[in-house]
Amino acid sequence: MTAAPVDVVGVLETPLAEGLRELGLDLGLAVQRQLLAYLGLMVRWNRTYNLTAIRDPREMLVQHLFDCLAVLADVRKSALAGRRLRIADVGSGAGLPGIPWAIVESTWSIVTIEAVEKKAAFQRQAKIEIGIRNLEVLSQRVETLEAIPCDYVVSRAFASISDFVAASGHLVADGGHLLAMKGVRPDPEIQALSADWVVEDVRRIAVPMLDAQRHIVILRKN
């Protein structure tokens, strides 16, 4: 496995550990190093490929990594926790939240779906360099995918909830859920949903070191 650049490790090792404690995620040193390697790779690629508008490594740690792991902590507590999950990450971008989830939960099967090839190429490189065996990267539009029944289908700043449901609903297995990661509580988007899908819950998520609102909207088929 390729290690993260020294500057990223030196700057982020301590705040990563602090944030994980706040989230209640007890991760071994090897997993923490994989997370730092992923951030380090993102920093390097971002200089050329513009994977994300956030460029400061500390801000990436908080607004990308902690943001994704805060939701993961919530999924862990769900009724489906305790068995091997299949999860699709739609409009994954640089692999968020799919890659951090795959690193932390090695028994889960994670599929990331990203139509922009340069971003999918980054994800494939991360899979190789970091050694993420439970990750599959698909470079295509989600609407064109055949059904791959998943326990959870997640999106992070992908689209409106209605668009997310329309594009991705066919990937949800019987009894599965859609998870929309949002900033402020998206009540207008929720009100615009068709009757085919039901909002099961809207939860506010606390992200370490972030002074901003975060919510997840959990949906199931009616």
pLDDT tens, 143-196? 999 889 999 999 997 889 999 999 999 999 999 999 999 999 999 999 999 899
Is the Cβ–Cβ distance between 99 and 112 less than 8 Å?
Answer: yes
Q: Mean of the per-residue pLDDT values for the chain? A: 92
Is residue 52 over pLDDT 90? yes
Q: What is the CA radius of gyration of the chain?
A: 16
Which CATH class for the 64-221 domain? Answer: alpha beta
DSSP SS3 for 119: helix
Region 113-132 average pLDDT:
97
One-letter amino acid identity for 169? G
Distance CA 181, CA 81 (A): 19
Give percent of the chain above pLDDT 70.
94
> How would residue 67 be classed by pLDDT, with cut points 50, 70 and 90?
very high
Is residue 198 over pLDDT 90? yes
